[in-house]
Amino acid sequence: MQVLHTVAELRTSLAGKTGTAFVPTMGNLHAGHVSLVELAKQHGQPVVASIFVNPLQFGAGEDFERYPRTLDADCNKLAAAGCDIVFAPAVSELYPVPQSFTVQPSDSLTRDLDGAFRPGHFNGVATVVLKLFNLVQPRVAVFGKKDCQQLLVIRELVRQFNLPIEIVAGDTLREADGLAMSSRNGYLDASERIQAVRLQHELATIRASVESGERDYASLSATACRHLKMAGWRVDYIELRDAMNLQTPAPDSRQLVVLGAAWLGKTRLIDNLDFDLPAQA
């Protein structure tokens, strides 16, 4: 496996290759990331993974400085998973001059949910992903479903810029108790780790209620928020949306997703569960 740090090295290594599969990450990898690499191997070769903590997507007071940088351990996991190339640039390599040109995603996709609580976040995500797509020029790129809003932003980015890239979504991997795997789970202390699965439990309760015929989505969300707050969480949002566009479900919406973001102590956790309703008779 090659570990490359410069744009020039990356371009030289990928010259003439047309079937590349790409997995962008911020490092501090866990089994969920490894599963994305394994999925990428089914769709293209060589498999390229990037490791880059992108300053553009972190807002004031967020965890850019303390976000774990674990390059050696990450490379060991990627090599074991069969990754061919790791691209791990410095900030100065990817942003050699101030990034005054940025991508502004559609307001309809980013004005609420995480977009409301992390202003500018998706601008930073879309900008760095477009830059990485330009450098790697993959045929396929793999993203995890856990970042549901991000996945839809990337799909729309590819569509509107006419990029010849297939976006493949990898399922969320979970711990034995149901907690979605996340690099930020490492911030949780022992007591918080026990509590952390509550978010997934509340989302699962909403899903079960909707599948049973409940349609008062606002009431379901309010109940879930109340339960978390009573347990000491600070809730950003819990919402039931149309999985295709993240808008409020229409009466005929069949593909749904329930999303949540909440703080447990100093750690912000996100999760979502997507599901299909049976077609109406």
Q: Catalytic positions, please?
A: 33
The contacts found for 225-233 with CB under 8 angstroms, 24 or more apart, are: 227/198, 227/202, 228/198, 228/199, 228/202, 228/262, 231/195, 231/198, 232/195, 232/264, 233/198, 233/199, 233/262, 233/263, 233/264
The kind and range of the H/E element at 123 are helix 121-136
By CB atoms closer than 10 A (0-12, 13-18, 19+), residue 17 is: middle
Note the Cα 82 to chain centre separation in Å: 22
CA 81/CA 142 separation, integer angstroms: 15
Strand, helix or coil for residue 3 = strand
